Amino acid sequence: MALEGLHHVTAITADAQRNVDFYAGTLGLRLVKKTVNFDAPDVYHLYFGDETGTPGSILTFFEFPGARPGRAGAGMVHRVLWRVGAPETLDFWERRLDGAARTPDGTLRFADPEGLEHELVVAPAPDRPLVAHAPDVPAAHALQGFHGVRAYAADPARSAPLLERLGFARTGAGDAAWELAGDERRALLAYDAPPPEPGIQSAGSVHHVAWSAADDGELELVSAAARGAGARPTPIIDRRYFHSVYFREPSGVLFELATRDIGFDVDEPRERLGEALMLPPQYENRRAELERSLTPLTNPRTRAAATP
């Protein structure tokens, strides 16, 4: 059993078009899947990542139009960390991103239009860079996939036994910093002291974080390990592009285990990823209704390609 770092991170947006403009336009990620929340099909589920939607590069959003602004609090991921290739890449993104600021640690922090925090980290790693080919982002400066996430926890020691059973290893003294590393990918999970205000799960907040499992067999093994450490994992759920198991870790963060054996090209060719609304079979009979009710979207990449 060796989970391969992060699979994806899922957050919430109140405005799908503004969301696509920022992540596909400004950040240069590829919109690799336009589908719906399988548990609530009147809600978009948008996936951004590298050119093929490789696990470890995927940031997803549920759209709840008009949702109030969210706020990260105890038991929630509050920042997404991305890996970049060189210090000069930080200069590129500092010029490109409104409000971006350098940190004393030499990283670059910024927030999306709804306040979701991100951080760019120059960190040597053997992981293969997972990049998208945006027309106005030089390949040398493209985001290279996740470096990790930071969450709020009042007592991270409570999470330590479960994390150890899942294969996480401490990266320093205490229980606040961890790494989950497989043969090909790795990712960090760090805990920070929470703010005094309670969290609000809404626009601009992270809903859950998913760790990468090979297949159903590994899901079963890791679920059993999580159950042995006191978690209550769900049965395996078919999400069409991967299979999933969910549970909360003791600090309150919603964990998902997602498989990497299916992929986003199971229902559309790689060269057309993200162009059409893809529905799971159980909702095809509602296609006309859903296409009328979901927010119309224009992909910045498609718009740029059409510009002479």
Q: Which CATH architecture has domain 6-306?
A: Roll (3.10)
Q: How far apart are CA 67 and CA 191, in angstroms?
A: 27
Q: How many CB atoms lie within 10 A of CB 135?
A: 10
Count CA atoms within 13 Å of residue 33 on its CB side: 29
Q: What is the pLDDT of residue 51?
A: 97
Structure tokens given for 63: 């759209």
Nearest CA to 143 out of 272, 242, 48 is that of 48
10-residue mean pLDDT series, the chain (308 residues): 92 98 98 96 97 98 97 98 96 97 96 98 92 95 98 97 97 94 96 97 98 98 97 97 98 98 96 96 96 94 58
Q: Residue 91's Cα: distance from chain center in Å?
A: 24
Q: Which residue has the tokens 């040398």?
A: 140
Q: What is the pLDDT of residue 171?
A: 95
Q: What is the pLDDT of residue 1?
A: 61
**133: CB partners within 8 A, 6+ apart:** 30, 51, 139, 142
Q: Which contiguous run of DSSP H or E holds residue 259?
A: strand 254-259
Q: Is the dihedral angle over the CA atoms 18, 86, 78, 211 positive or is it negative?
A: positive
Nearest CA to 108 out of 79, 133, 66 is that of 79
SS3 for 37-56 is ECCEEEEEEEEEECCCCCCC
Strand order in the sheet with 177-181: 101-102, 108-111, 117-122, 77-84, 146-152, 186-192, 177-181, 169-170
Q: What is the pLDDT of residue 143?
A: 98
Q: How many CB atoms lie within 10 A of CB 8?
A: 24
Q: How far is CA 128 from CA 9, 55, 69, 125, 144, in A?
A: 19, 12, 35, 8, 8
Q: How many CB atoms lie within 10 A of CB 6?
A: 29
Nearest CA to 239 out of 218, 216, 221 is that of 216
List the domain boundaries for the chain. Answer: 6-306
Q: How many CB atoms lie within 10 A of CB 139?
A: 11
Strand order in the sheet with 206-213: 30-37, 40-49, 58-63, 6-13, 206-213, 254-259, 243-248, 237-238
At residue 162, the 3 state secondary structure works out as helix
Q: Is 282 exposed, middle or buried (0-12, 13-18, 19+ CB in 10 A)?
A: exposed
